[in-house]
């Protein structure tokens, strides 16, 4: 061992040019006479080169990270999703939201927790807007309370939504693909009263048309009809058949903000509001804009569509059961135009961790804007 170390030390010093003249000549003679030593020199030289490349690259990667962070801090590099042309969109979105909020609350039987809404909507540092909205919302709250008595069992919302003032922008919510050719599922109340629908994913907007609507179970199916649309290939999730067990972990993706938001929770009850058998109760944090979003189990199978929230309690949320989607698709397919519509059968998300699942899913969940 000691000999090996001495030899290695000699080789390294030779390679580094640290030997004096006589030592060097002596070592080179040794190297010529002994092929093993010659091999060792070559091998060690190459290895040290590899090692030093590795060190340099590692250091350089580190430096790159530092420079990047520094430039971000100095605003030389901008890295927020909201940089590009977001200002007008955001304004539109904010304006939308209060109408959506009201529409959602009425259509969905349950009303919104106003304070939650305020938090969700309030842009930081924009006090005047916040106050204005506040006033309008509290006026509406009074109206709502009165109406709530009358509309306790009300599901059909047409009559009331026409009473809503300030009906410029009609709605916004979430939807998700159920067929790779651009069919999306969402809530009926999300697209209620809109003549034009725009769906957005990854900052790309597409025109969509409502092809199916069932106010009774609050389900709508849209079809993207836009020349910019390109089929996305096989959907990574499927629609779960059969019932879901209490306590199962679930999660949702939606657009309560201008950006896609993930939330997780669990299955609470097999029926919805007032024993509604078409829906389920889940415990999850949801806000206006989440309506129409997919609710998935841990295997990445759709178990429902998030639709409404209990006014009294934040975490009591209702979702339409997935079998409503299956039924709607069956009904649609009777029309030959939609003959090719097919729900995805297999989930390729199974076994992936949630982070990976969500990453994949993002491309298939769209914001819906109704005009």
**Residue 351, both tokens:** 């076994």
Q: How far is the CB of 365 from another protein (least distance, A)?
A: 15
Is residue 56 a contact residue for another protein (CB under 8 A)? yes
Per CB under 8 A, which region of 44-52, 212-220, 258-266, 270-278 contacts another protein? 44-52
Among 18, 76, 259, 353, contact with another protein (rule: CB under 8 A): 76
Q: How far is Cα 235 from Cα 301, in angstroms, rounded to an integer?
A: 11
Least CB distance from residue 102 to another protein, whole Å?
34
| Residue 280 · residue 304 · CB < 8 Å | yes
> Which of 70, 91, 241, 345 contacts another protein by CB under 8 A?
70
Core vs surface per residue 128-153: b (16+ CB within 10 A) or e: eeeeebeeebeebeeebeebbeebee
Site for another protein, residues 214 to 233, rule: CB under 8 A:
230, 232-233
Residue among 63 and 330 whose Cβ is closer to another protein? 63
Nearer to another protein, 48 or 354 (CB): 48
* Sole binder of another protein in the list 4, 20, 21, 36 (CB under 8 A): 4
Classify residue 243 as left (phi > 0), alpha (psi -120 to 50) or beta.
Answer: beta
How many helices and strands in the chain, by DSSP H and E? 10, 13
DSSP state of 123: P
Query: In this complex, which beta carbon is closest to another protein, that of residue 91 or of residue 230?
Result: 230
Give the count of beta carbons closer than 10 Å to the beta carbon of residue 61: 10
Q: How is residue 300 written in tokens?
A: 């990445």
Which of 42, 67, 87, 246: binder of another protein (CB under 8 A)? 67
Q: Stretches 54-62, 236-244, 311-319, 335-343: which one binds another protein (CB under 8 A)?
A: 54-62
Q: Could you give the CA distance from residue 1 to residue 24 in angstroms, rounded to a whole number?
A: 23
Which positions touch another protein (CB under 8 A)? 1, 4-5, 8-9, 47-48, 50-61, 63-65, 67-68, 70-71, 76-77, 79, 81, 84, 202, 230, 232-233, 363
């Amino acid at each position: 061992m000691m000999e090996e170390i001495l030899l290695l030390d000699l080789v390294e010093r030779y390679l580094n040019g640290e030997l004096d003249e006589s030592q060097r000549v002596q070592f080179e003679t040794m190297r010529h006479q002994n092929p093993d030593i010659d091999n060792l020199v070559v091998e060690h030289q190459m290895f040290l080169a590899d090692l030093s490349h590795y060190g340099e690259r590692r250091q350089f990667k580190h430096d790159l990270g530092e420079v990047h962070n520094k430039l971000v801090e100095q605003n030389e590099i901008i890295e927020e999703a909201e940089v590009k042309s977001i200002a007008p969109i955001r304004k539109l979105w904010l304006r939308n939201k209060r109408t959506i909020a009201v529409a959602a609350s009425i259509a969905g039987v349950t009303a919104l927790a106003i304070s939650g809404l305020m938090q969700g909507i309030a842009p930081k540092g924009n006090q005047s807007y916040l106050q204005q909205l506040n006033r309008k919302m509290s006026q509406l709250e009074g109206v709502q309370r009165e109406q709530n008595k009358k509309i306790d069992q009300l599901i059909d919302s047409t009559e009331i939504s026409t009473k809503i003032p300030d009906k410029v922008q009609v709605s916004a919510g979430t939807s998700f693909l159920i067929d790779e050719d651009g069919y999306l599922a969402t809530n009926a109340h999300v697209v209620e009263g809109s003549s034009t629908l725009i769906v957005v994913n990854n900052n790309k907007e597409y025109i969509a048309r409502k092809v199916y609507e069932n106010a009774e179970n609050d389900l709508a199916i849209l079809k993207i009809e836009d020349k910019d649309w390109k089929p996305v290939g096989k959907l990574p999730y499927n629609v779960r058949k059969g019932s879901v067990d209490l306590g199962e972990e679930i999660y949702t993706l939606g657009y309560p903000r201008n950006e896609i938001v993930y939330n997780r929770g669990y299955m609470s009850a097999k029926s919805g509001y007032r024993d509604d058998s078409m829906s389920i109760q889940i415990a999850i944090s949801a806000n206006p804009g989440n309506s129409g979003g997919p609710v998935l189990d841990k295997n990445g199978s759709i178990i429902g569509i998030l639709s409404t929230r209990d006014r009294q309690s934040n975490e009591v949320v209702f979702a339409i059961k997935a079998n409503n989607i299956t039924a709607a698709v069956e009904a649609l397919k009777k029309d030959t135009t939609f003959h090719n519509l097919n729900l995805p059968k297999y989930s390729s998300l199974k076994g992936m961790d949630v982070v990976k699942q969500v990453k994949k899913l993002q491309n298939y969940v769209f914001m819906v804007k109704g005009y």
